[in-house]
Chains A and B, each alone.
Chain A
Amino acid sequence: MLIEVFGPGCLKCQTMEKHAKEAVEKSGGSHEVVKISDYAAMVSRGVLSTPALAVEGQLKFQGRVASTDEILELIKA
């Protein structure tokens, strides 16, 4: 699965990326976590509020940090 984390690099965004990586580790599967910090790229995907997280091209969280468990749930689903 492709997990994208959107954020310019503020503390919240770093936490989100960390949680995403932890969730991937817990799931035991091979999933790819990609961090997107380029504003132009974020905007062209329709991200308005950071941090945001998308799984397989679907925006799941926007404007808040999701917990490791929440992201794990998404990976499992």
Chain B
Amino acid sequence: MSEGFTQPSAFRRGGWLLLALPLWVFLYAVNHAASEWLAFRLLGLTPKSHLGEAVAFLLYDTPKVLLLLTLVVFIVTFIQTFVNPTRVRDALSRRRPGLGNALASLFGIVTPFCSCSAVPLFIGFLRAGVPLGVTFSFLVAAPMINEVALGMLFAMFGWKIAAIYAGTGLAIAFTSGLIIGQLKMERYLEGWVQDALKGPAMGELEEATPTLPARLDLAVQGVQEIVGKVWPYILAGIAVGAFIHGYVPESFMASLLGKSHWYSVPLAVLIGVPLYSNAAGVMPIVEALLGKGAALGSTLAFMMAVIGLSLPETIILSKVMRPRLIATFVSVVSIGILLVGYLFNAIL
């Protein structure tokens, strides 16, 4: 059904999209030269000085991250218009543990998900017969393997780091769900949830399928919405990144988050959890950390803690789960993140 979508605006936007691509390529190509010119010629800062390097990082990274984010969000939102939570739910319904957990983790990456949807999605899955452990695999994968973060990692650091991030995130989601499923924790759901699971269905609502112009429209809206909302986090992330880049000595970072100390991974997680940022905002920090000799495992653990274990989401989920289930959920995921950190510090 397409009546629900406004066609003319989509076609107008089609013209804009064709113009936007060459403009994007041009801006991205001249960004490096432009930032150096601004920092060292126009502002007259000395290359290799602390301030000079910090300012150059700031001027280079801000347009770069914003440009990459725009492209990544556009592509990701477009892909997401093909993934419908209702169909995902039906595909996961009554799956056996194992295969169900694997599918749920994969779906978790691509399904559009916001933390305020966590509750209806959680109960909706359980009601449709998706096992608790499989539902948890989904709930862990959805925020942890953030699709925007994945795209940004690919664009900024190459496919290997992106693949390591996705692979380890999937492994954590798969295993956590499997463990929680084995623990048989259904009785630690809040009472009203258990009632809602038994209640009769009131006739499910039918959903419309968007047309191609509508999908492109949605992708443009996604860019406006996400880039419009996260740019303060990105600026904050870039400011932190610029400070690290210009002022923090390499030896200090290597001693703190390097691979030779046992405490570097838990430290990275401890710093990461209370930092409420989002996938895009944390990228410039990751960039600066890696540049200054922080180990990949520690950095990965830091990033996963920031994105995957967020306080707001835990608070929302506490409406449906008793403390014991919440605690199990948070500890299983934290242990997974720690293991990933240690593993990659050890093998790379």
Contacts and interface: CB of A to CB of B under 8 A. Distances in A.
Given A59-B207, A73-B3, A73-B6, A49 B199 contact: no
B116 A59 contact: no
Nearest to B210: A61
Interface in A1-42: 6-8, 10, 12-13, 39-40, 42
A12 B119 contact: no
A74 B4 contact: yes
A74 B156 CA distance: 42
Interface in B284-339: 319-320
B116 A62 contact: no
Interface in A26-77: 39-40, 42-50, 52, 54, 57-65, 69-70, 73-74, 77
Nearest to A54: B205
B167 to A, nearest CB: 26
B188 interface: no
A57 B117 contact: no
Given A58-B205, A59-B207, A48 B3 contact: no
A58 B123 CA distance: 20
Given A59-B205, A59-B207, A63-B112, A47 B6 contact: no
Contacts of B85: 48-49, 62-63
A70 to B, nearest CB: 6
Interface in B100-157: 112-114, 116-117, 119-121, 123-125, 127
Contacts, number: 105
A15 to B, nearest CB: 10
Nearest to B113: A49
Nearest to A63: B112
Contact of B204 (A12, A13, A46, A70): A46
Contacts of B125: 48
Interface string B1-19: 0011110010000000000
B322 to A, nearest CB: 16
A22 to B, nearest CB: 15
A48 B199 contact: no
B121 A64 contact: no
Contacts of A40: 123, 192, 195-196, 199
A64 B215 CA distance: 12
B4 A43 contact: no
Contact of B120 (A50, A69, A70): A50
A10 to B, nearest CB: 4
A18 B229 CA distance: 19
B201 interface: yes
Interface of B: 3-6, 9, 84-86, 89, 112-114, 116-117, 119-121, 123-125, 127, 192, 195-196, 199-208, 218, 221, 225, 319-320
Interface of A: 6-8, 10, 12-13, 39-40, 42-50, 52, 54, 57-65, 69-70, 73-74, 77
14 contacts: A40-B123, A40-B195, A44-B201, A45-B204, A46-B86, A47-B120, A48-B86, A48-B120, A48-B124, A52-B205, A60-B207, A62-B85, A63-B117, A74-B4
Given A46-B201, A48-B89, 10 more contacts: A44-B201, A44-B202, A49-B114, A50-B116, A58-B205, A58-B206, A62-B86, A64-B218, A74-B3, A74-B4
The 9 closest A-B pairs by CB, nearest first: A59-B205, A46-B204, A10-B116, A48-B85, A48-B124, A40-B196, A43-B123, A49-B117, A44-B202
